Structure 1
Amino acid sequence: MDERDDGRGDVQELSDFELTVYETVAEIDKEGGAADFDTLGRLVGGPEEDLWAALGHLVSVNHLHSTPKGYVLGPHDWAP
């Protein structure tokens, strides 16, 4: 995996489902919120195991951060 200096993996390496989860978190984050698991499950759909796996992978490649309030974007280089 090609990684930048900030430790993020390439977004093009994400599965379609992971990209959907990422984009959903980004929408919530840009409004100043954090995406909790139940909200993501309702908005994204799919099996719970798949959502946990996607979130785990997105956190591990530094695209998302897990906070006490939910998931937020990790470092990114695009404007809101």
Structure 2
Amino acid sequence: MTEERGDVQELSDFELAVYEAVAEIDKAGGAADIGTLTAQIDRPEEEIWAALSHLVSANHLHSTADGYTLGPHDWAP
């Protein structure tokens, strides 16, 4: 059984930037919290929250107790 995820072509450039920031942290074995993301991304926190919300609803990211991690993907780490 595979998890459905949204089409990446539907993501904005900013959402892709947020996804890439989370992917870098996830690749290192961590979860991206909002404090880390706001320090790395030069945009208002509200915009980052909105991007995270959309990425989670499209199943590109998962929200955990520790922060955000990658959702299902078909590329190697």
Q: What TM-score, normalized to structure 2?
A: 0.94
Render the CA deviation track for 1:6-54: whole Å, top value 9, x for unaligned.
2201111100110000000000000100000000011012011111100
Matched, 1:15 2:16: no
- The more displaced of 16-25 and 42-51 is 42-51
Root-mean-square deviation (Å): 0.9
Q: Aligned pair count?
A: 76
Which residue among 32, 46, 63 is the counterpart of 2:43?
46
Could you list the runs of 5+ residues in structure 2 that have no partner in the other structure? none
Large movers: runs of 4+ above 4 Å? none
- SS of 2:22's equivalent in the other structure is helix
Q: Give the superposition deviation at 1:65.
A: 0.3
What is the TM-score of this pair, normalised by structure 1? Answer: 0.91
| Aligned sequence identity (%) | 72
2:71 aligned with 1:70, yes or no?
Answer: no
SS at structure 1 position matched to 2:62: strand
- Matched residue SS, 2:14: helix
